[in-house]
Amino acid sequence: MAASTMKHLVQVGEAREAAEEDGGAPSAGPAYRCAYGGGAASPPAVPGLECCWTYSATSLPDLMTVERCPDNKMLGRREIVDGKAGKYTWITYKEAYDTVIKVGASIRSLGVGKGGRCGIYGANCPEWVISMQACNAHGIYCVPLYDTLGAGAVEFILCHAEVEIAFIEEKKIGEVLKTFPNATKYLKTIVSFGKVNPEQKEKVEQNGVSIYSWEEFLQLGGEEKYELPTKQKDDICTIMYTSGTTGDPKGLREDDVYISYLPLAHIFDRVLEEVFIHHGASIGFWRGDVKLLVEDIGELKPTIFCAVPRVLDRIYGGLQDKVSTGGFLKKTLFNVAYKYKQGNMVKGSKHEEAAAMFDKLVFTKVKRGLGGRVRLILSGAAPLSNHVEEYLRVVTCSLVLQGYGLTETCAGSFVSLPNNMSMLGTVGPPVPYVEVHLESVPEMGYDALSKESPRGEICIRGDTLFSGYHKREDLTKEVLVDGWFHTGDIGEWQSDGSMKIIDRKKNIFKLSQGEYVAVENLENIFGQAPGVDSIWVYGNSFESCLVAVVNPNKQALERWAESNGLKGFELIRAVHLEPVPFDMDRDLITPTYKKKRPQLLKYYQNVIDSMYKNMK
């Protein structure tokens, strides 16, 4: 594929042939950057923007958020009255700033300063963001912990990161107590996001650790004024433990509203919220219950909605069910409207111009279901199915973009472009200032030098890369080679310069007859079947075929319409139908809904053994 045809890219490096010696480096394709950044390696410097704290500092009134828009709504939560959720109540940027200063002073009064370690453990809430910004202000390493983690994982992170002070959701204090006494080697202070009961206080203090309620801690620093330390661009900001396995094309505005429900301990939501704060926009927090998320969205009325594919799949399924049960006339009108608008969008019309009349008559009802103000839906953390992405692009009356990135790349490294239907199923071109090339994976048949279809492991280089794995220099050397981060994901360049994620390098094994199987690729294929909600494919080198555990979508089974051509050894010979979706309660998926393969095997071992036994 000629570089000249990939209109969204600029070539900045030459291809590389494979090393001749046995075990040498495989071949690699040319290096590219995004054409919209002019092919530059770094963005123009923004005066005064030196670190995350600059987003809310007051030193440069013309640039910094608090001075620019002190009365803007910043952090909101729903007020609970008589056990019922009411309106969102807000604190402004100035109020949040003042609280951050108090929290920072209290932290410093305990002797924790620049380079110290501060854990944050709990569901998204205003106190989470305020604690994070206090760390940013004083150069303290922020160590976020997923609120879904159990005591074992919490203990590991607290000890491994040498956390000295931890801010904790009130209902999570019990989990932290289970980590005692091991965690107390470093942990000396706990701050509750809410209250502390006498029993908790007694147990914590028995282990030589201090504990404060949120209100108590705000007063701890008194009136002492602590000078903020000088911070360098290469200072560590956060130690983020991955869950295991971006420039916005239209720009954010001060009147934008974002609903915070994805875990702040994950890089996807963390970066998004930092960007919103930088722009003076508003962040409203959900109540922590996925069953109540739609109600929270309806009350908050966000303008930007970021999601993982699992959430968007459920929205798609719900909309399909409503259409199919809406009666003959409504169903016919919807289908006519959909076909007309989709056809115009494929021809190049912008979504808002493709079918203005049908938007008002038909699709505005869908938009109201997301609060009525959403103008951008961004999907990340896992691949979004083509049919779901196309459907949402047509019916939501908003831009629907798909992005790709990792914790190690500081989230978004690719994002699809708006109003471009040819990018369906891709994550778009690289974001500006990120350098990308593909490296061949011969054992999987992926050739980065192919003229027709360059495929290989996605490798990323640039200023957004992480500095390394904390206390794991060995792992750092494995993935960072000559400045290139090896993602482990297999990508395929498209003719316009967008990237399609097609496989995962690590999840490959041989069957007993010698065939290599890439299970994530097969899961992506089988997962496109209308009757499949989620699927986990398994095989090993002692068996000659594959088996799978499937979460069926009963409604979609009736709409089964297509199949994919696969080799005989790729066909699944036995299926276990699992009515209960994979969930975090059983430790089968991560907080971003990625499958945990070792845990799945352990949980379903008897099922797997039974399926293979019954086939013999």
H helix or E strand, kind and range, residue 575: strand 572-577
> How many residues make up the chain in this entry?
616
Label residue 512 by pLDDT band (50, 70, 90): low
Which residue in 291, 332, 331 sits closest to 314, CA to CA? 291
Position 565 scores a pLDDT of: 67
Position 4 scores a pLDDT of: 55
Label residue 135 by pLDDT band (50, 70, 90): very high
Q: Looking at the predicted structure, is the pLDDT value of residue 53 above 60? A: no
8 Å CB contact between 402 and 429:
no
Look-up: residue for tokens 């951008």?
376
Position 232 scores a pLDDT of: 74
Position 248 scores a pLDDT of: 24
Label residue 39 by pLDDT band (50, 70, 90): confident
Q: Looking at the predicted structure, is the pLDDT value of residue 587 above 60? A: yes
Determine the distance from the C-alpha atom of residue 494 to the mean position of all C-alpha atoms in its chain, rounded to a whole number: 24
Label residue 3 by pLDDT band (50, 70, 90): low
The whole-angstrom separation of Cα 207 and Cα 131 is: 24
**Mean per-residue pLDDT over the chain, rounded:** 86
Q: Looking at the predicted structure, is the pLDDT value of residue 231 above 60? A: yes
The whole-angstrom separation of Cα 358 and Cα 337 is: 6
Q: Looking at the predicted structure, is the pLDDT value of residue 377 above 90? A: yes
Helix (H, G, I), strand (E, B) or coil at 595: strand
Q: Looking at the predicted structure, is the pLDDT value of residue 23 above 70? A: no
H helix or E strand, kind and range, residue 222: none
The whole-angstrom separation of Cα 254 and Cα 258 is: 11
Q: Looking at the predicted structure, is the pLDDT value of residue 462 above 80? A: yes
8 Å CB contact between 534 and 582:
yes
The whole-angstrom separation of Cα 608 and Cα 613 is: 9
Determine the distance from the C-alpha atom of residue 337 to the mean position of all C-alpha atoms in its chain, rounded to a whole number: 33
Cis peptide before 181 (omega within 30 of 0): yes
What average pLDDT score do residues 346-375 get?
Answer: 91
Which residue in 407, 414, 405, 409 sits closest to 432, CA to CA? 414
Position 251 scores a pLDDT of: 42
Task: Spell out the residues 6+ positions from residue 206 whose beta carbon is closer than 8 angstroms to its own.
Answer: none
Label residue 125 by pLDDT band (50, 70, 90): very high
- Please name the amino acid found at residue 308: V
User: How far apart, in Å, are the Cα atoms of 238 and each of 119, 141, 270, 586?
Assistant: 10, 5, 11, 28
Helix (H, G, I), strand (E, B) or coil at 104: helix
Of 56-60, 188-192, 336-340, 606-610, minimum mean pLDDT range: 56-60
Label residue 347 by pLDDT band (50, 70, 90): very high
Position 25 scores a pLDDT of: 86
Position 474 scores a pLDDT of: 86
What average pLDDT score do residues 262-269 get?
Answer: 87
What average pLDDT score do residues 358-381 get?
Answer: 90
What the chain holds in terms of domains, given with CATH numbers, is: 92-245 (3.40.50.980), 430-506 (2.30.38.10), 508-615 (3.30.300.30)
Position 271 scores a pLDDT of: 87
Q: Looking at the predicted structure, is the pLDDT value of residue 445 above 70? A: yes
Residue 310: CA count within 13 A, CB half-sphere: 17
Label residue 162 by pLDDT band (50, 70, 90): very high
Q: 312-321, long-range: CB within 8 Å, 24+ apart, which pairs?
A: 312/377, 312/379, 312/384, 312/388, 312/392, 313/385, 313/388, 313/533, 315/392, 316/388, 316/391, 316/392, 317/533, 317/553, 317/555, 317/556, 319/366, 319/369, 319/391, 319/395, 320/555, 320/556, 320/559, 321/555
- pTM for this prediction: 0.75
> 401: which strand partners?
378
pLDDT of 236-251, one tens digit each?
A: 888 888 654 322 223 4
Of 277-281, 328-332, 341-345, 493-497, minimum mean pLDDT range: 277-281
Q: Looking at the predicted structure, is the pLDDT value of residue 509 above 90? A: no
Of 3-12, 168-177, 205-214, 342-351, minimum mean pLDDT range: 3-12
What SS3 string covers 12-33?
Answer: EECCECCCCCCCCCCCECCEEE
The whole-angstrom separation of Cα 388 and Cα 400 is: 10
Of residues 515 and 238, more confidence is placed in 238
What average pLDDT score do residues 419-440 get?
Answer: 93
Label residue 566 by pLDDT band (50, 70, 90): low
Label residue 564 by pLDDT band (50, 70, 90): low
8 Å CB contact between 501 and 489:
yes
What average pLDDT score do residues 105-119 get?
Answer: 95
> Would you tell me how many other CB atoms lie within 10 Å of the CB of residue 340?
15
What average pLDDT score do residues 262-276 get?
Answer: 87
Position 123 scores a pLDDT of: 93
- Select, from the ranges 219-233, 243-257, 602-616, the one with the highest average predicted confidence (pLDDT): 602-616
What average pLDDT score do residues 279-306 get?
Answer: 90
Position 296 scores a pLDDT of: 93
8 Å CB contact between 458 and 52:
no
> 10: which strand partners?
33
Determine the distance from the C-alpha atom of residue 525 to the mean position of all C-alpha atoms in its chain, rounded to a whole number: 22
User: How far apart, in Å, are the Cα atoms of 364 and each of 346, 387, 396?
Assistant: 20, 20, 8
8 Å CB contact between 600 and 536:
yes
H helix or E strand, kind and range, residue 438: strand 435-439
Of 181-185, 493-497, 531-535, 540-544, minimum mean pLDDT range: 540-544
8 Å CB contact between 461 and 42:
no
Label residue 165 by pLDDT band (50, 70, 90): very high
What average pLDDT score do residues 12-35 get?
Answer: 86
The whole-angstrom separation of Cα 247 and Cα 44 is: 14
What is the percentage of the chain residues whose pLDDT exceeds 90? 50
What average pLDDT score do residues 266-280 get?
Answer: 86
Q: Looking at the predicted structure, is the pLDDT value of residue 60 above 50? A: no
- Please name the amino acid found at residue 205: E
- Select, from the ranges 205-219, 421-435, 473-487, 580-594, the one with the highest average predicted confidence (pLDDT): 205-219
Longest dimension (CA), the chain: 76
Label residue 61 by pLDDT band (50, 70, 90): very low
> Would you tell me how many other CB atoms lie within 10 Å of the CB of residue 344?
18
Label residue 59 by pLDDT band (50, 70, 90): very low
Of residues 242 and 370, more confidence is placed in 370
Of residues 518 and 526, more confidence is placed in 526
Task: Spell out the residues 6+ positions from residue 104 whose beta carbon is closer than 8 angstroms to its own.
Answer: 134, 137, 138, 221, 226
Burial class (CB in 10 A: 0-12, 13-18, 19+), 525: middle
Position 282 scores a pLDDT of: 93
H helix or E strand, kind and range, residue 333: helix 328-346
The whole-angstrom separation of Cα 323 and Cα 314 is: 14
